[in-house]
Structure 1
């Protein structure tokens, strides 16, 4: 027997047993909460008593026999081994006495201690029979769980204590504490005994918990686990053993860098032990435990009393019993699994009944709607309008607090209970938005419900845009067009639907929709005035106006500023996601890539913190596009693959075209043509070609064809892009520079005149602020007109690229410049441009670009330029070490910001160093810097 923290109690019991032969009777009552070691202590007493030569009679009170007359006393007389050693006549006489007692008790109230359940002469005879079983030796009577003893047995036990008070008898009783655990009159009789000793067993401390753990795990694990095991078990020995079993079942830590330490695991053994403690305890304690599990952190004594129909005193005593047994702390379960175990132990009907009752009680008590709603959702039924209001209010708050799961649960139940009409329309729309955020692939049934409501004529006008947005995203354009046409007659004025169709996001993302809807049903586009007024204060309208301006009229400084204003002042939510993504796209098409990356990274962090693939996927896709336009193909692939992993193709809808386009272009730039081809084979919605995303994918496919030498298919793709963009009214090179791409293909087939026309046309469309688009146009212009004649255009392109940091396009321009120098016989300059291109391409993992663009292979440009001749000064000798490092990085195409990051200095410091470098080397521009300043600079 374990004596952890039980040494004093055991010493007292040993003293009682040791003096039993010389002293009159002793009564010892061992009290304690459930499962704190009372039974183990009594078993130890029995073993010690038998070892000392005492006659031992044992019995255990059982809950099921609490109303069975003489059940406990019968165990003492008929369950003893000594009875078998006596003559059969004595056994028969005991049986007759017990039958007589049972017959009398059956005529009495089994719950009343005041009535005489056993006649006096029968009790005297039973007491004599009990004492006779000692056979002249001291007698030890051990009864566990005496709180479950039937009243007739207790009355006989009282008689034994009185009649054998002077005899060598030791009576040890195990009594569990708790509400209604004791019989008042029997307890009073105990207190009257002159040699009564009471022992109180409590839960174990942390040191004792560690000692119990040491019996099963190593010293280090026991010392490390003891605080958590004690916290979860409350020091209850049964729960400590259960947790030890779970720990051993889990095994030692698999971390090979650490010693073989065990880890804390709370599992099935703990769950079963919690239930064992509760079912062995009082019925009221079990009921209160269930009430705590149902009400959770709202479980006040008043709420529990009302829910369980118990008096306040019983509730208070039961909560105290749970805490003393180590099951709860501060009114809540010590571990979530304990609460789960109690809930699972309830029948489904009992659980639903308790939740229904809890919802009514809490609502009457003025509880907050989310508290009440959780019980309504758990009960699974809405009984009145007030409950429906509670669900709607809770869903609204849950969305605001980013508890989308609760919002969905409330909305689903509200949808089932709400009758057809405007209110249910609002519920359906909100449900579709929430589901799209967390489980985009499952939004189909909710769109079907919205469509059915529309067809039946009770869908409100405000809910129609949600239906249209879902249908358009899934590429179901004919259905969307049909609904848009019907809305003109179904809703007077049709303002909500018209406003949705008029937004720049819809007009530019689904430009082919206008032909399906019809010009008469298609609202007028937003004009220039809308860019400043931005249709009031709605972020979605402002962002749409900015995007529409950039894609229909060209890059506009005010549009880009408006987009950034939306990003600055709009928090991420289901309602604002479209406005934020539109604003990011506006910055991308305006070549404000650094600002776009800054805002997209911030939104991605927020989306990751709040959760929801419906947010993370589109933001990751936009971040991939930004990385690609910055010339970082590696990051573009990383962000793109992450975007695809967040949602299934079904959830992506037509938006998957943008992700696939980025991945195809990025792999093409890195020369990974097979990987690029796999993304072209990806399943896409049928309606994708009618969207802006399909346009991007078509252009990416043309790039892959061009890189693999398939000139005619590439030209067809680029010209198709131009045809669609012209027809849709979004013919801006910032979106897809199809003219310069087609011009390059015309050059390969001898169509110089057409190439010249296309590239000059594109150059005329490049306004101020389009540094990246203008740079690539200038490069192609130089290729078309002959590198000798447009040598200056390439230098201008490099200056433009330094603003937007597109490293891939910079490699292409440097390659063209290297070929230009080579054609002019300037071999040294050609090698320097080639070396610079190789370094940037290698850093971007796009060496394949150089293989096609440069007149020199990597091996030919890797050797340093000629050393200075005698008498010549080396430029690097005139510069400080810091200036050489900055100048060398600048000479190889790194922007000031990149140099600052690489050298861990500020951008201002970089600018100051460059100013001094220009003065010392007598140069005025970045492109004039020599490339041999610092051979060991890590570029």
Structure 2
């Protein structure tokens, strides 16, 4: 045996290895106790190369006689091999003590397992410890022989008051020859067991800085990734980089990867060269096949299952595979193992793995993973396996995995018909991940269609993807061409299947027209013709999926044309009467139900749509349904809940593969933030997403969604005092909707804001003319919300004498509507009108109702405006000095919020107020919800304005819209 010379590595200012400050401090504490006459044992555990020897190198420090030994596997069966090597005569002993020690270890008195031997060796330690404190360092203790381990137990039992420190380093979860002895030593005598893990990225960056100079973040990240935080691999990598003159810049990241892989390969070759061939074979099989179990790995390596388990145990001890033997400790090592294999051997192992997995009926996706590695699919069953694996991946909600299998299948197919079917299937799968990425393939498939029927089916799929990705203008001519080809082929006498396809093409064209009217006159004519045909087509029975899609399209057309809410609801319900789920049907039907104020039904559809899309892993559909449900909640006035849904949609949009290409989530979020009294936050969000006023509005979302940004720009202009610009924006929104055939007034309240602006500008006749334009569609639709909103607008355009009666009538009608925003607005406007008419007592009743309802729903801007009018009407807030915040928050919530705003921790708040920490957390959560903030920084910005009523953000009585004030001290008209 030879003494280990620890690898020179980077150290912290206190002398400890970098990243091991805590462990080094604990070792120094144990050394101090040993120096004071208390025997101590410290076990250091960790995988190979993690820095155990480097940690022990600097400990215990001055004042100790340090004896070291590195145990080896070849000596693990030799009795007292470690003990005799450890106690070789140190050079700094007094001559007499050296003679006594030499005599005790003399070959003339061999070491046996008897008690006298234990006593002889203990006397050797006593001699050494009498000279000065003694430290025994046992490296690679997992290879220590059993006799030496028993002697250490014997020694520590008799050294409780002896200046002795025993330090032992062992591999984590190794399987030593005498594991019981080492475990007993640890269990009975260890004063500390220190487990060493990988270095964290920050520590890796420190080491890189010490070796190469201050690194740029990307450079340090690559070093951390390639080394896995293993100090040995890290220093080998840095040696290679230093020798190659690599500078620690981000631009050198590729060279880091290249050198890193070469370093790992070189290190691995050295370690593998010392392993038996069967172990190397098992390692190669595991690298190629992954975790398929010891029996199958053994079969691949041509060894028995028992020998495979033994080989995996050896690899665990070498720190190459994980403790459970299921994989490699780091992907870099697995790749390095594969790189050491000749290509032909890799292919042979893959073929062997595929055959074994298939013959033993392993899961089809496990078989497919091996098929992906083969250069060719030799057998027909292999293609079938990839087809089946793709289906299974889709059912398990992993569409990306399905894409991998289909792309591999496509690369190996020769038959044109099979390739075409796989292309189409691949494009349909991509629609769940990134519909925009599927459009080119679908369009190419439409153009390659062999028959008009096939062209029609593919065109419908293309149209669906175009609607989802906001690219409807490119889809209209494709659908129109498919419709014309189908009509020409049938000669006016289509079969039932062809007639159904024709109707579906028309339905998709109608939805596209609702999204945005085509630019060309011929395109608009085709959409109008399709709408007329869909409107007059006999309603199908709904027995097939295609028939239910037609019913959903008819329901949507009925809704946007504002013909009859009950009729639209009936059509939507019929479209939904099937156990087979369809995203297209749910998308159209849920919004028809929401527009018809069927709150429970639409909520059920949204819940099911979210569950299905989550289970399928369809992030695109999931984020759209979240945003649309947030918009539904906004239209109902449920601002708190709407913000939560919109925030979830936005988070999903910002981390998905199509990242930030959808404008629906930020548009919904901006509208909701404005309604919550936080227009500045909405401005920042849209600016961050690059959505600026004056740019073209999105062209692919339905009319009510497309106009969201236009509505927001109108509010923004009004808020800034540009009433003329705001009016132009609102009127242009109405023109765009009418051009798309959207006349239902509940889809967008643009006309209500236009009426208010016209009245303010002294153009009441024009306002009344606008009201009459929407009155008939509202009456046809017939919901309380539609009728109540018209009454609200009539009241706004009427003189003071008539307005109060119209507001009262609107309040009665809206009492039966789920539209909380309109109910807030009618109470606010009625209170304001009564205050102007000189009836403050009656005004206070309605203003209190507006404040209460706005507070509960999260419409904080409306709450602030109503609270100010309530004070002007002689109403009392909770405290005379309080502003609107006291109407939103309880006394306890306000007290806790103010402390939190000043930076006081939750625990300090609990201590100061003599309440529990849980109570503080509960009140803060409620405060965040009520004020529409998500952290303390936002709280510190919003609370002061709510705390002082005059600066609180306001909106005019409804969910959204600009601030409109009543002059203090007068009841003048606004």
Counterpart contact for 1:617–1:647, Cα < 8 Å: yes
In the alignment, which residue of structure 2 is the partner of 1:345?
337
Deviation at 1:636, TM superposition (A): 3.4
**2:832 counterpart of 1:814:** no
Name which of 552, 556, 570 aligns with 1:547.
556
Show the counterpart of 1:447: 439
What RMSD over aligned residues (CA atoms) do the two structures have, in Å?
A: 5.4
Supply the distance in 1 between the matched residues of 2:74 and 2:330 (Cα, whole angstroms): 25
Asked if the contact 1:819/1:830 (under 8 Å) is kept, the reply is yes
Structure 1 residue 463 displacement after superposition: 3.4
- For structure 1, the residue ranges without an aligned partner over 5 or more in a row are 6-34, 54-135, 142-175, 178-198, 212-221, 253-264, 866-900, 903-939
Question: Residues 358-757 of structure 1 correspond to what in structure 2 (within 5 A)?
Answer: 358-363=353-358, 367-379=362-374, 381-383=376-378, 385-419=380-414, 421-439=416-434, 443-444=436-437, 446-455=438-447, 461=455, 462-488=457-483, 492=489, 496=501, 499-503=504-508, 505-512=511-518, 515=521, 517=523, 519=525, 523=530, 525-527=533-535, 533-534=541-542, 536-538=544-546, 540-561=549-570, 563=572, 576-601=582-607, 603-604=609-610, 607=613, 611-647=617-653, 656-677=662-683, 679=686, 682=691, 688=699, 692=703, 693-757=705-769
Which TM-score applies when normalising by structure 1? 0.59
Give 1:409 shift: 0.8
Pairing 1:286–2:280 present: yes
| C-alpha distance 542-842 of structure 1, shift in aligned 2 (>3 A) | same
Which residue of structure 1 lines up, in the alignment, with residue 240 of structure 2?
Answer: none
- Alpha-carbon distance between aligned partners in 2 of 1:517 and 1:422, rounded to the nearest angstrom: 33
CA distance in 2, matches of 1:530, 1:236: 82
User: 2:460, 2:479 within 8 Å by CA — same for their partners in 1?
Assistant: no
User: In the alignment, is residue 773 of structure 1 matched against residue 786 of structure 2?
Assistant: yes
Q: Quick check: 2:288–2:338 contact (8 Å CA) kept in 1?
A: no
Distance 1:234 1:516 in 2: 86
Q: Which residue of 2 is the match for residue 826 of structure 1?
A: 839
1:783 is aligned to 2:773: no
2:195 aligned counterpart, secondary structure: helix
Separation in 1, partners of 2:626, 2:642:
9
- Gap change, CA 1:738 and 1:48, over 3 Å in 2: closer
Between the aligned partners of 2:231 and 2:328, the Cα distance in structure 1 is: 11
Show CA shifts across 1:739-770 (max 9, x none).
Answer: 43433333223332332233244333234662
Alignment deviations for residues 918-939 of structure 1 (CA, whole Å, 9 cap, x no partner): xxxxxxxxxxxxxxxxxxxxxx
- Structure 1: distance between partners of 2:417 and 2:819: 51
Superposed CA deviations along residues 425-450 of structure 1, whole A, max 9, x for unmatched, are 4433333343343456xx43x43344
**Displacement of 1:580:** 2.2
* 2:209 maps to 1:245: no
Instruction: Output the CA distance in 2 between the equivalents of 1:46 and 1:332.
Output: 26
When residues 627 and 748 of structure 1 are mapped into structure 2, their CA distance, relative to the original with a 3 A threshold, is same
**In structure 2, C-alpha distance between the alignment counterparts of 1:234 and 1:399, rounded to whole Å:** 48
Which stretch has the larger CA shift, 732-741 or 516-525?
516-525
Deviates more, 1:458-467 or 1:623-632: 458-467
- Whether the 8 Å contact between 1:242 and 1:270 is mirrored in structure 2 is no
Give the 5 Å matches for 1:309-328.
Answer: 310=302, 314-322=304-312
User: Displacement of 1:813 after TM fit?
Assistant: 0.5
Q: Is the 8 A contact 1:715 1:742 kept in 2?
A: yes
Q: What is the CA deviation profile of residues 299-320 of structure 1, one whole-angstrom value per residue up to 9, with x for unaligned ones?
A: 4746743x34x2x6x4443334
For 2:334 and 2:795, how far apart are their aligned partners in 1?
A: 78
Q: Distance in 1 between matches of 2:632 and 2:400?
A: 32
Q: CA deviation at 1:828?
A: 0.6
SS at match of 1:581: helix
3-state SS of paired residue (2:597): coil
Report if the CA contact (8 A) 1:296-1:332 is conserved.
Answer: no
Is 2:771 aligned against 1:759? yes
Q: For this pair of structures, how many residues does the alignment match?
A: 663
Query: Could you give the per-residue CA deviations for residues 796-820 of structure 1, whole angstroms, max 9, x where no partner exists?
Result: 4334444444333222211221133
Over residues 852-879 of structure 1, what are the superposed CA-to-partner deviations in whole Å (9 max), with x where a residue is unaligned?
Answer: 67993546544289xxxxxxxxxxxxxx
Cα distance, 1:623 vs. partner?
2.2
User: Distance between the aligned counterparts of 1:723 and 1:326, measured in 2?
Assistant: 72
Q: Is contact 2:834-2:842 (8 Å) kept?
A: yes
Distance (Å, rounded) in 1 between the aligned partners of 2:842 and 2:178: 81
Per-residue deviation, residues 524-580 of structure 1 (Å, max 9, x unmatched): 6434766562473455444333223222343433533554576685577xxx33332
Alignment deviations for residues 101-156 of structure 1 (CA, whole Å, 9 cap, x no partner): xxxxxxxxxxxxxxxxxxxxxxxxxxxxxxxxxxx966999xxxxxxxxxxxxxxx
Go from structure 1 to structure 2 and tell me whether the alpha carbon gap of 1:478 and 1:628 turns closer, same or farther (over 3 Å shift). closer
- The whole-number CA distance in structure 1 between the counterparts of 2:677 and 2:877 is 27
Deviation at residue 829 of structure 1 after TM alignment: 0.6
Q: CA deviation at 1:726?
A: 3.1
Structure 2 unmatched ranges of 5 or more: 4-39, 44-70, 90-105, 112-141, 158-167, 187-191, 204-226, 234-263, 491-497, 879-928, 931-974
In the superposition, the TM-score normalised over structure 2's length comes to 0.57
Q: Quick one: structure 1 residues 541 and 649, their matched pair in 2 at CA, closer, same or farther if it must change by over 3 Å?
A: farther
CA distance in 1, matches of 2:505, 2:172: 58
8 Å Cα contact 1:235/1:326 also seen in 2: no
Superposed CA deviations along residues 181-200 of structure 1, whole A, max 9, x for unmatched, are xxxxxxxxxxxxxxxxxx99
- Structure whose alpha-carbon radius of gyration is higher: 1
CA contact (8 A) 1:608 1:616 kept: yes
8 Å contact kept, 2:287–2:335: yes
SS at 2:848's partner residue? helix
Counterpart CA distance in 2 for 1:506 and 1:543 is: 14
